Structure 1
Amino acid sequence: MREQSSPNSRPRIWAIGSGKGGVGKSVVTANLAIALAQQGKKCAIFDADLGAANQHTILGMPSPSISLTDLFSRAVPSICDLLLPSPIPNLWLISSGRAQLDMANPKFALKEKVIRQLATLELDHVLIDLGAGSSYNVLDFYLAAHQRIVVAVPAPTSMENTYHFLKAAYFRGLKQAIKRAGATRVVSQAIEEKVVRGISSPKELLSHIITMDPESGAVIAEQVSTHGPKLIVNQVEQKKDLELGQGIASAYRDYFGISAEFLGAIPSDNLVRNAVRMKCPVLEAFPQSQFSKRIREITRSLLKKGEIEDADE
């Protein structure tokens, strides 16, 4: 596997996150990648759960002998040297390994280096399995992706943490957009006027910024508009749980003024636990399970929409 020489054939970068651990994010990520690989797409999973990487176990691979730590320490020159072939045809793994404390919290420049190098790989798709939560480390990888998926489960704590994650991602992205637009002064003034003008949501705040400075506001709005999430509700057991994903997407659109999409719900399935114990991906161990069927449906739906075709921008 080599780095790309042509800028017109860069891989599509996905980021899959969650507001809290224990929602099945890593299993969903692995099986989405396998569903793509089974359709002939060349894919890699970048296990970005720095310090707690476990994708190799889900994929049935031994503990990686080389990882992101080797790139950070300059033991290898490029991220393409970290690609490990998985047991699944067309699928590779980039592991972050058991990073030391300083490596588990890389500086922004190091994260930018990783993101730039991911975009040079000779692949169709790279799926980033983020760590749980909303640290800057997680958010920066999330915001750098072409497609952003958030996995939740139908439990009050998960719903609350999903909201906090989406809010943190929005404001992290807004801060970056403001800096790029050179509009810090205008935004500070808009925030000062927020109470007086009765501004109660980010959507209204951005609208006010556009009124104050149309040029800078338009640049900020364009950049922020690309941050809309796609939602998956995992481990669903009741019909009423199906409404949660749509509810989150609708509330996000109303409050932030950015499109959000509910990709679908995945039913709770004991075969998922069995596959994890077997150290074998669900799509390989139990291809006819309800979990596997829903993963394939979600993947087919995205392919049909052209949402995950090879990136060429």
Structure 2
Amino acid sequence: MNSTRLSVVIPAFNAARFVAMAIESVLDQHYPGEHEIIVVNDGSTDGTGEIVERYGGRVRHIRQSNQGPATARNTGVIAARHPLVLLLDADDIALPGRLERQAAFMGNRPEIDICFGNWIVEGEEDDYLARFGLSAPIDEFVEVEDPLSRLLARGSFVPTSTVAIRRRTYLESGMQPKGAFYAEDYALWCEVAGRGGRFACCGAPLAWYRTASDTRLTRSGHTYSGLVEVLGKALVKHGHRLDPESHRAALTRFHRASEILLRHDWWTGGRKRVRHRMASLDPPLPAAMRRRWTLVSLVPAVIPRIARQLLRGTPPTAGHGRIALRRSV
């Protein structure tokens, strides 16, 4: 019998349509070891809380004001009673055997800080881990070589809803950035790896990832700034540990992400936002890229606003001696 004690932490925001499926996917596994399910209700207004309450003592229900997925996960991990924490988002599903498989591995390998598996992405057929050059056996976990270089140079290869992490590691690494809405998990993985943490993965899918969900934060404006902020901080703090090739690849990722972010800023906020963003970017941008965006920032902010209105089919109109825009319906 597996004696590894574990806590499953499920952050939930307006997840009334899905949270029961997430909870049931854990309950259906009948894990024999001591365990608990914690749902952190992050200020839901759609009846999520009422659904969770129906499970009574089988699920610990923690309510808090809406503070984002990072703070919700942090709340759950802080409240966890057991040394191993499994993460599962409220609109995803834990696949059969996940708890037993991860508990057994982490119980036998105390030197590993994080283990994770593949996941099945709704509507997609390719191998998620293979996108990042990871290959692992279906039936066993293998250690990931140089996780810090891989995270910074290739991207966030760790599917959050398949993660088992030691509670001690989560807390000592500073947890996920408070209030973050995008790349909050990536920030934690980078910090764990930067501190010398060890990762292991298996090729078997451990969770099903739902893409057709209104609560998916990856569709929000936080997408653009989150990656740049996390990658930039990780490069400044841990970049000296990378070999030259990995460092160049990581810097290239940062510059490409910054380019996309600056385009988004100019498009949505005009030149003032571009100037503010350029001043805040760390590491600094290459000189040529900085000069180009300095020139772009001279373009009046009204230009991108007019372009947006034209794309939406609402033509600009003249008013009071200057260009005015009709309010879009």
Instruction: Settle same-fold status: TM greater than 0.5.
Output: no
TM (norm. structure 2) is 0.26
Q: Which has the larger radius of gyration?
A: 2
TM (norm. structure 1) is 0.27
Kindly indicate whether structure 1 or structure 2 has the higher relative contact order, using CA contacts under 8 Å at least 6 residues apart.
Answer: 1
